[in-house]
Structure 1
Amino acid sequence: MSTIQVHDKFFIPYLSEEKIIEKVKQLAERINSDYKDKRPLFISILNGSFMFSADLFKFLTIESEICFIKLASYKGTKSSGQVITAIGLDTDIHGRDIIILEDIIDTGKTLSQFLPQVFNQQPASLKIAVLLHKPEATVHPVDIDYTCFSIPNKFVLGYGLDYNGLGRNLSQLYQLKEE
């Protein structure tokens, strides 16, 4: 694991693929236990959560379904402050047990703007599972039910997360190198 360059920025190794998979597997075990007699619908928020969602599903033993939506608020290494819905929720969630899968929650703005849309459809229950949470950056508090990692307020890349479109394919997480 060494320093990598993506566009004009340098990144250093932060979390190995093994550590990530270990935490995702532990999360799946908790969800398997919590939902053993239910069939939840997972809502995976694209683009960043695709690897997290895929790996989580490999370890789920319960009956479950998944759908994907696209929300975005990032440009470069900073939140744009605007939440864009590119692909909306087209699955009926009324009366369903819902688990939202998100790659990272930092300011909380994206989910705080999306959650009212979900609640308006009256799900039976709603939980949030996140790979990464940046508590220091949270401006719009969101109740997170399942967290793999709490991390400092530094930009990260890899395992589905990108910097201007690149780096999503990296199997581990990298952190922006301090200049």
Structure 2
Amino acid sequence: MADTKHRALHHAASHPDLEEVLFTEDEIKQRVHALAGEIKQVYGPGEFTLVSLINGAVMFTADLMREIDNPVRLDCIRVKSYGTGTRSEGTPQVVASLTLDVANRDVLIIDDILDTGKTLALVCDLACKLKPASLRTCVLLDKKARREVRFEADFVGFEIPNKFVVGYGLDFAERYRNLPCIGVLKKELQTAPAP
């Protein structure tokens, strides 16, 4: 019990703008390592193409790649959905698409968070039209309470409650991406700051 109390205090002290820390840097590292193992079991030793949804999945993708010794290719897609708010804004839009040819190749799409499901559904639909040999998805966080379309990721790091989280690539108005942990942003800070 004392250890749990100490841990909670340690978590809260990580950053003054966080209400609580859901996952520490060490917990994220351990889960990313385990996820890489799950991915390698599916793909075996073969080559596959990683497609990272930026900016949010940059840190997660980089750490995951370092845990995988398969030959991998990397491409990125930029999708706009949040803007400066805390809720997804209507229909996501692809701002920058793939540059690599993924036809007849195994493709793994990587995102930071799966909430409404709209963004990943859009990106998977786009990728399917390019006729990959296989298409799977990997997300660091799964917020099932926010789902608006039927979508489940093939690989999931952590399931989280319906709270607005930042850190480890996740942002609020382009801030907090650099935090090494993932935490809940204090409610009073969940309003768009001046540009």
State the TM-score, normalizing by the size of structure 1: 0.92
Q: What does residue 44 of structure 1 align with?
A: 52
Specify the alignment match of 1:14 in structure 2: 22
Runs of 4+ in 1 over 4 A off after TM superposition: none
Q: Distance in 1 between matches of 2:152 and 2:141?
A: 14
Provide the aligned C-alpha RMSD in A: 1.4
Higher mean displacement: 50-59 or 33-42: 33-42
Which residue, out of 128, 133, 143, partners 1:134? 143
1:89 to 88, 98, 106: 98
Alignment of 1:103 onto 2:115: no
Match of 2:16 in 1: 4
The aligned residue for residue 25 of structure 1 is: 33
More helix by share: 2
Q: CA deviation at 1:116?
A: 1.4
Q: CA deviation at 1:21?
A: 0.8
Structure 2, gaps ≥5 residues long: 1-10, 189-195
How far did 1:178 drift?
5.3
Residue 181 of structure 2 aligns with an amino acid whose one-letter code is Q
* Shift in Å, 1:141: 1.7
**SS class of match (1:94):** coil
Q: Paired residues, what number?
A: 175
State the Cα distance separating 1:147 from its structure 2 match.
0.2
SS of the aligned residue for 1:67 comes to strand
1:58-77 matches, within 5 Å, as 58-75=66-83, 76-77=85-86
Cα distance in 1, alignment partners of residues 45 and 23 from structure 2: 33
Identity, in percent, stands at 35
AA partner of residue 22 (structure 1): Q
SS in 2 for 1:30: helix
8 A contact 1:4–1:12 mirrored in 2:
no
